Structure 1
Amino acid sequence: MQKDGILSGIRVIDCGTYIAAPASTTVMSDFGAEVFKIERPDGGDLWRLFPHLPGTPKSELNYAWVLTGRNKKSVALDLGSPEGYEALIRLVKTADVFVTNYQAQLLAKFRLTWDDLHAVNQRLIFAHLTGYGDSGDDADLPAFDALAYWARSGLMTSVTGRDGTPSGPRPGIGDHPTAMAMFGAIMLGLYERERTGRGSKVGTSLMASGAWAHSCDLQARMLGATFPQPRGPHPINPLSAGYVTRDAKVFLLIQLDPEHEFPRLCKMFGAPELATDSMFATDASRTEHAAELFAILQSQFESKDLADWRKAFKEYDIKWSLLPALDDVVSDPQMRAAGAFVELDYPGHGTIQTINSPVFVAGTEKRKPEAAPELGANTREVLRTLGYDDNAIDKMIKQRIAAD
């Protein structure tokens, strides 16, 4: 048994923030990769701040960082300075993988695009996780999983009843994310074979994948965190809540860095003084006066149509997402721009749409989707390639050993 890990000797730069991209390097570190976590000197990764937000579990240890920061080496660099950038470039020259979820405009600003880094290390794997894809009008919008994965995909509205009570799970809601875990396990197996010449048994489970998806709350509970309890019909944290516009559109607002984001929200409303009001100036005061703040925000949002707010959100850099119905999701042009939907020629039905797998490699085209075969459609041709003649195949089919 290999004790030092399948990915031992692999050097990974985690130049991301919050969860999705950094969590992938956490997985790599679990298999022995050496992971360098690049953080800003002033405060580090914003994910470190998550447990301090209103409405989140509280514990002695920072469960968010315990979970996603494990096994890593923190390297604090100011990438906006020539010296910090040069230090990172030196590290890039020694690395195998560079992982980031920075928006395209930030990658350009810090000279960390694929072209920039490929020029200094042609063996580098450049892994870029985005909220909404690489092209389309919304490609460079800031995003969290609550916005792009949970809300924009339609999952949120599909699993919540109209009265707000839990509904039944939707088909495949855990199967498809688990399939991606399985994909990763298979790739690890292939990589190990490349290094050792030996095959290996790899796998995952729905339970383990579900625990990984639920890991923030589970980690908090493991560390004895106390969870906030609802105190009324209003949300515990009005800055991470759903609102209704004048034209009855529902959207989700997310502000995980309220010190900087809440003032912008208040300025957008034309009420900058709200951000410094003693009732709303701090996390603690906003929690204490959550009902009042929620009422103020809802009254503002219901004063205009979503189209008006959409423009204002973009102007003031407010993180949000529509809570769409399924019809809205399947007609969303950003889904196509992001490559999430793909066309398929289906016999007897013309061209239909299907859901693309969410992994893309620049310079490589995916296979054009083909219709699923009928039962046994390829039995004969495959058996022939294995050396069976038609008589033997007919016999197998007659005995129901095979079917065509």
Structure 2
Amino acid sequence: MAETATPLAGVKVLELGTLIAGPFCTRILAEFGADVIKIEAPGEGDPLRKWRKLYPTPDGDTSLWWFIQARNKQSVTINLKHPEGLEIIKKLVRETDIVVENFRPGVLEKSGLGWDVLSVINPGLVMVRLSGFGQTGPMAKQPGFGTIGESMGGLRYITGYADRPPVKSGVSLGDSIASLWGALGALMALRHREVNGGAGQVVDVALYEAVFAMMESMVPEFDVFGFIRERTGNLMPGITPSNTHTSKDAKHIIIGANSDGIFKRLMQAVGRVDLANDPQLANNTGRDARAKEIYGVIDAWVAAHDAETVLRITTAADVPASKIYSVADMCEDPQFLARKMFEKAQLPNGKEFLMPGIVPKLSATPGVTRWLGPALGEHTDQVLARLGYSAEMLIRLRNEGAI
């Protein structure tokens, strides 16, 4: 894989986590140069290695998701229930900048790896703790996945149509949003350590709070007006027009013309100069009062044209619009390709495949894929040898089930 300067080069990260929230957090750090050691259970590994196996995978028994989620990480197998396994973790912590974990609160404490212990071993340690409900509060020790975070954090309640039950998005949004907050919190804590005498701290991310933080004006609207935001399908009440429309060739197109100038240009483009010049529709308040009328006009216009024509006209009028993309659309779209949003890589068996490019785009120190998700325990001997373990000691530890 390509080599380049990276902003987090030299930052050492220890991942004690599985599946999505913790591993996605460390994936972000690894993509920008952090040295990430992922701890996995001997013989088992992260369950994500087997997830999303909807089709037979080209590489035998490993999920394609694994190769992306664990890229740039080193896999080290350690038995956290074995005394010598715990001692290895403590040795690693001495040279670690960031520990990322997503166990249920209390699990690490029972193992002797809580913040009270690790912060004594390494006072400059930053510990990112991702959990369903955070490290405190009456629900702290309850199990909580991303779906629960989305539900409790408000996202599910407002997603879907009013006459149907709430729906989920097609990806693990709750986990991923929490991961982003975790990575951001880790970098803020590192900055604090740098300018305030080297002290570390805990970054406590609750999945439901990570989702809740994205809920815009929901709280003040309720507190001031008693208004509870409900499911409204593809509409955004109070922001008009912004909706999904269906073309003559049955393609779904989103048109966002909710700013004053853009609305005027859209109406001119669809041949409704009367609406473009209507003083009542010159601002969002007036348009929202006549939303049904406006959406009827746009629906009828889109339905009379194929998607290509609709997008050609909206583009010429400088109106934001897009077909709703499938992954097939993404893979051939000029914008995706120009922004290098796909990388070609090879599976261990030599088969070539596409994987997502790295976000965000840094001009001087971009993220880079150095290697794909490793085999289980691929780096165990290398990492432990660096800690002073001899070949004979490694054999003994394996025989005893510690690694």
TM class by shorter-chain length? 0.5 to 0.7
CA contact (8 A) 1:344 1:369 kept: no
Deviation at residue 235 of structure 1 after TM alignment: 7.6
Aligned length: 243
| SS class of match (1:299) | helix
CA contact (8 A) 2:234 2:243 kept: no
Distance in 2 (CA, whole Å) between partners of 1:283 and 1:188 is 38
Matches within 5 A, 1:244-283: 244-258=246-260, 260-277=261-278, 280=281, 283=284
Deviation at residue 396 of structure 1 after TM alignment: 0.3
CA contact (8 A) 1:243 1:301 kept: yes
Distance in 2 (CA, whole Å) between partners of 1:233 and 1:375 is 43
CA contact (8 A) 1:344 1:352 kept: yes
CA contact (8 A) 2:234 2:244 kept: no
Question: What's the counterpart of residue 322 of structure 1?
Answer: 323
Distance in 2 (CA, whole Å) between partners of 1:231 and 1:212 is 20
Superposed CA deviations along residues 171-193 of structure 1, whole A, max 9, x for unmatched, are 32222232222121111122122
2:205 paired with 1:208: no
Question: What's the counterpart of residue 187 of structure 2?
Answer: 187
Distance in 2 (CA, whole Å) between partners of 1:232 and 1:193 is 45
CA contact (8 A) 2:241 2:291 kept: no
CA contact (8 A) 2:189 2:201 kept: yes
Distance in 1 (CA, whole Å) between partners of 2:231 and 2:190 is 48
Deviation at residue 253 of structure 1 after TM alignment: 1.4
Relative to structure 1, is the Cα distance of residues 250 and 231 closer, same or farther in structure 2, using a 3 angstrom cutoff?
Answer: closer
| SS class of match (1:298) | helix
CA contact (8 A) 2:246 2:252 kept: yes
Question: What's the counterpart of residue 198 of structure 2?
Answer: 198
| SS class of match (2:213) | helix
CA contact (8 A) 1:234 1:291 kept: no
Superposed CA deviations along residues 260-282 of structure 1, whole A, max 9, x for unmatched, are 22221111112211223477555
2:396 paired with 1:400: no
Which structure has more relative contact order (CA 8 Å, sep 6+)? It is 2
Deviation at residue 391 of structure 1 after TM alignment: 1.1
Distance in 2 (CA, whole Å) between partners of 1:230 and 1:174 is 18
Deviation at residue 232 of structure 1 after TM alignment: 11
Distance in 1 (CA, whole Å) between partners of 2:262 and 2:384 is 63
Q: Which letter does structure 2 place at the counterpart of 1:262?
A: F
Distance in 1 (CA, whole Å) between partners of 2:230 and 2:180 is 34
| SS class of match (1:321) | strand
Q: Which runs of 5+ in 2 are unaligned?
A: 1-158
Deviation at residue 343 of structure 1 after TM alignment: 2.7
2:176 paired with 1:173: no
Distance in 2 (CA, whole Å) between partners of 1:275 and 1:300 is 15
Relative to structure 1, is the Cα distance of residues 265 and 307 closer, same or farther in structure 2, using a 3 angstrom cutoff?
Answer: same
CA contact (8 A) 1:235 1:290 kept: no
Distance in 2 (CA, whole Å) between partners of 1:214 and 1:319 is 23
Distance in 1 (CA, whole Å) between partners of 2:334 and 2:233 is 38
Relative to structure 1, is the Cα distance of residues 278 and 387 closer, same or farther in structure 2, using a 3 angstrom cutoff?
Answer: closer
Distance in 2 (CA, whole Å) between partners of 1:220 and 1:179 is 28
Distance in 2 (CA, whole Å) between partners of 1:364 and 1:283 is 41
Deviation at residue 212 of structure 1 after TM alignment: 1.4
2:348 paired with 1:347: yes
Distance in 1 (CA, whole Å) between partners of 2:244 and 2:364 is 39
Distance in 2 (CA, whole Å) between partners of 1:254 and 1:365 is 31
Superposed CA deviations along residues 52-107 of structure 1, whole A, max 9, x for unmatched, are xxxxxxxxxxxxxxxxxxxxxxxxxxxxxxxxxxxxxxxxxxxxxxxxxxxxxxxx
Q: Which letter does structure 1 place at the counterpart of 2:221?
A: A
Question: What's the counterpart of residue 224 of structure 1?
Answer: 225
Question: What's the counterpart of residue 239 of structure 1?
Answer: 241
What fraction of aligned residue pairs are identical, expressed as a percent?
A: 19
Distance in 2 (CA, whole Å) between partners of 1:373 and 1:232 is 42
Question: What's the counterpart of residue 336 of structure 1?
Answer: 337
Matches within 5 A, 1:4-403: 166-203=166-203, 204-224=205-225, 226=227, 236=237, 239-258=241-260, 260-277=261-278, 280=281, 283-402=284-403
Deviation at residue 210 of structure 1 after TM alignment: 0.4
Greater alpha carbon shift after TM alignment, 248-257 vs 384-393? 248-257
Deviation at residue 300 of structure 1 after TM alignment: 1.0
Distance in 1 (CA, whole Å) between partners of 2:295 and 2:268 is 17
Distance in 1 (CA, whole Å) between partners of 2:195 and 2:360 is 24
Q: How big is the alpha-carbon RMSD for the aligned residues of Structure 1 and Structure 2?
A: 3.2
Q: Which runs of 5+ in 1 are unaligned?
A: 1-158
| SS class of match (1:223) | helix
Deviation at residue 233 of structure 1 after TM alignment: 11
Distance in 2 (CA, whole Å) between partners of 1:365 and 1:231 is 39
Distance in 2 (CA, whole Å) between partners of 1:309 and 1:330 is 22
Q: Which letter does structure 1 place at the counterpart of 2:186?
A: I
Q: Which letter does structure 1 place at the counterpart of 2:196?
A: T
Q: Which letter does structure 2 place at the counterpart of 1:180?
A: L
Superposed CA deviations along residues 3-24 of structure 1, whole A, max 9, x for unmatched, are xxxxxxxxxxxxxxxxxxxxxx
Distance in 2 (CA, whole Å) between partners of 1:234 and 1:185 is 33
Q: Which letter does structure 2 place at the counterpart of 1:239?
A: P
Distance in 1 (CA, whole Å) between partners of 2:233 and 2:176 is 35
CA contact (8 A) 1:178 1:205 kept: yes
Question: What's the counterpart of residue 52 of structure 2?
Answer: none
CA contact (8 A) 1:189 1:200 kept: yes
Relative to structure 1, is the Cα distance of residues 202 and 353 closer, same or farther in structure 2, using a 3 angstrom cutoff?
Answer: farther
| SS class of match (1:274) | helix
